[in-house]
Structure 1
């Protein structure tokens, strides 16, 4: 049995949350010069990869893919090559903060609006007192500001660069700047800063356990219904997709 499950042609490693954190801990300890790009793969990115060759190459070059969303995991199970569990961007970020608190890791936060970015930094500093937030910047910047942000990150050399610019823009941004960032790890985390800051309420544990977090989000943010139409489309296309065995 392979150590990955193919989802619409993309090989997704069969790894748990704990193993993901262990792997990233090793990356930080090894202190290699090249950036390690983590992509939390969701149905939207997977669908976009079918017609966007540049995005697909970014995904193929990533250091680690995780299954972000129950849709990815359910398709793997229905196709008979199951992934062990979801490893979402938000959950992975929280686990990295917990581990970073034990190991005195440093972070840089990029994304969200200014108030949310500031509040997130305050919450992390209060909750994880051994973690260093070396710097932060909101996600609404122009090209001139972007150059300064990249320079700032490069000079600060964080262990982990957290990019909350939305998918797949975060993945493109990390890939475009990967040779200039001087971070050990970079990860796109979607709207995770909104959750940490308390701007968006996280689904209760029972919703997460039953894998219906999407339903809680839809009830609390009805405007998301158009975006969530991609989920049934993804499920049908992914289940009918003829995977190459090689």
Structure 2
């Protein structure tokens, strides 16, 4: 605080922590006249778990913004510090940890995408399709009363921490989650990587026409992307062998399954051995976002971990139980979990 009084640093300014590459550091020299600050766009994204692949762009936007944007950043930064900040000496960053009985793999977005691509590159020699799940507040609420689902998720090959709720809960057990690894944010990075490595993607799930629409949208952005095929999730049980046959005949490397929990996890585990694709991800409502049926929350809401409010406003009937009832329920589970953990340690 004394540094602010003496004007050595500002409330909002350049990031205090130097985590830039040599090239980025060289580019930042043009901002040499700017002071460092307690709050920055880069730091805000890191604090809330949003992937930062181009920190220079965030800094350029921050420096060129006006006073109103400065005040907005100050407020967002203050709130984000209140919800998410904890001293680095108090938090560990393990590669894997257990939360609510679920095994979470603590990866960055870059590492998660590399895992998907690396498994998709493996030669299929009697190796079961690798399964990846995104674990969020709803996942926890479902598994608390459903040990079958919990065990099914734990048998997956990767479970990524998805959302601010998981970040807050992990903080209470002394764990820092690297980044918010969710399917919606992952897909653009996955598409870019799939283009470069010439890996194909099959999209299974959602209502009729939604996967097709999402695929068309993605191809406009990533024209060299190989989408091996699409299939809605509204097929009868007796049609499952035909659906699996079409997926296998497409020679897809990566399968995205958007059926919602717990259906998608059950479907994937039941049929993983029959699939010839190397990797499959359970992605929930992902296709709705990329089809344009549902819009993504503004960035400032995501920075504050409030994306769920945006979803609730768009789909009040279908999301009421998940958010209005589910979020307080998750906080209760977190409280009980913490009390039990302290009692066990004492």
**Both proteins in one fold, TM over 0.5:** yes
**After TM superposition, where is structure 1 displaced by more than 3 Å over at least 4 residues in a row?**
242-245
* Structure 2 residues not aligned, in runs of 5+: 1-91
Q: Under a length normalisation based on structure 1, what TM-score does the superposition of the two structures give? A: 0.92
Asked if 1:26 is matched to 2:118, the reply is yes
Asked if 1:81 is matched to 2:175, the reply is yes
Asked if 1:147 is matched to 2:241, the reply is yes
Give the C-alpha shift of residue 95 in structure 1: 1.9
Give the C-alpha shift of residue 184 in structure 1: 0.8
2:113/2:186 contact within 8 Å kept: yes
Could you say which residue in structure 2 is the equivalent of 1:10? 102
Q: Under a length normalisation based on structure 2, what TM-score does the superposition of the two structures give? A: 0.67
3-state SS of paired residue (2:247): helix
1:79/1:239 contact within 8 Å kept: no
Give the C-alpha shift of residue 88 in structure 1: 0.9
Higher relative contact order (CA 8 A, sep 6+): 1
* Structure 1 residues not aligned, in runs of 5+: none
Counterpart CA distance in 2 for 1:158 and 1:74 is: 37
Could you say which residue in structure 1 is the equivalent of 2:214? 120
Of the candidates 307, 320, 330, which is equivalent to residue 213 of structure 1?
307
Larger-Rg structure: 2
RMSD: 1.8
Deviates more, 1:223-232 or 1:156-165: 223-232
Give the C-alpha shift of residue 55 in structure 1: 1.4
Please list the CA deviations of residues 87-142 of structure 1 after superposition, one character each: whole Å capped at 9, or x if unmatched.
Answer: 11211223211211222210111111222122112112222122211111111110
Between the two proteins, the alignment pairs up a number of residues equal to 245
Counterpart CA distance in 2 for 1:54 and 1:219 is: 32
Could you say which residue in structure 1 is the equivalent of 2:332? 236
Counterpart CA distance in 2 for 1:152 and 1:184 is: 15
